Amino acid sequence: MPVMTASSPRTDLQPGDRAPDFTLSASGGRTVSSAELKGKPYLLYFYPKADTPGCTTQACGLQDVLPKFEVAGLTIIGVSPDPVAKIEKFATKYGLQFPLASDEDHAVAEAYGTWVEKSMYGRTYMGMERSSFLVDGQGIIRNVWRKVKSATHAALVAEAFRDLSSGA
Active-site annotation, residues: 55
The secondary structure element, H or E, covering residue 123 is strand 123-128
Cα distances (Å, whole numbers) of residue 127 to 54, 132, 148, 150: 15, 15, 15, 17
25-46: b (≥16 Cβ within 10 Å) or e: bbbeebebbbeebeeebbbbbb
How far apart, in whole angstroms, are the C-alpha atoms of residue 34 and residue 3?
A: 11
